[in-house]
Amino acid sequence: MTNVDWNRVAMFVLRLGVAFAFLYPAINAWTNPSDWIGYFPPFTRGIVDDATLLHAFGIVEIVIAVWIIWGKYIFWPCVAATVMLVGIVVFNMNNFVVIFRDLSIAAASLALTLMNLPRSAPPSSHSSSRLPQDTW
């Protein structure tokens, strides 16, 4: 019988859930752009045409999703995911009945961010001052 590392499985499921929230709109925007362009704040529209804005943002979403699924060095894509999701909520409060779920996904991406905080290198053996290690 094999031992399953349920923490690793849970982390993978969490990564898949957050990634899906970025993959689906990016892919669906190719066939239904009018369903997605309305979520962009007015100040972002008109700089480039709507299709370019939507698909450029979709490429960023796909990169973030694939990176999170990959699971290596995911601190920064998780930070980006959290900021993007909170931004979607902040700039679309008039549509909160639809986008309220983005707060839950943002919480999941924030959890991934916190679980993947960059670790500082341990003090070298040549260091004269050793700091106590955190125990929690």
Domain boundaries, the chain: 6-115
CB-CB neighbours of 46 under 10 Å: 9
In 3D, which of 94, 99, 81, 90 has the Cα closest to residue 20?
A: 81
At residue 131 the predicted structure's pLDDT band, cuts being 50, 70 and 90, is very low
Burial of 38 (0-12, 13-18, 19+ CB in 10 A): exposed
Model confidence, pTM:
0.84
At residue 2 the predicted structure's pLDDT band, cuts being 50, 70 and 90, is confident
Query: Residue 122 corresponds to which amino acid?
Result: P
The model's pLDDT over 20-57, given as tens digits with 9 standing for 90+, comes to 999 999 999 999 999 999 999 999 999 999 999 999 99
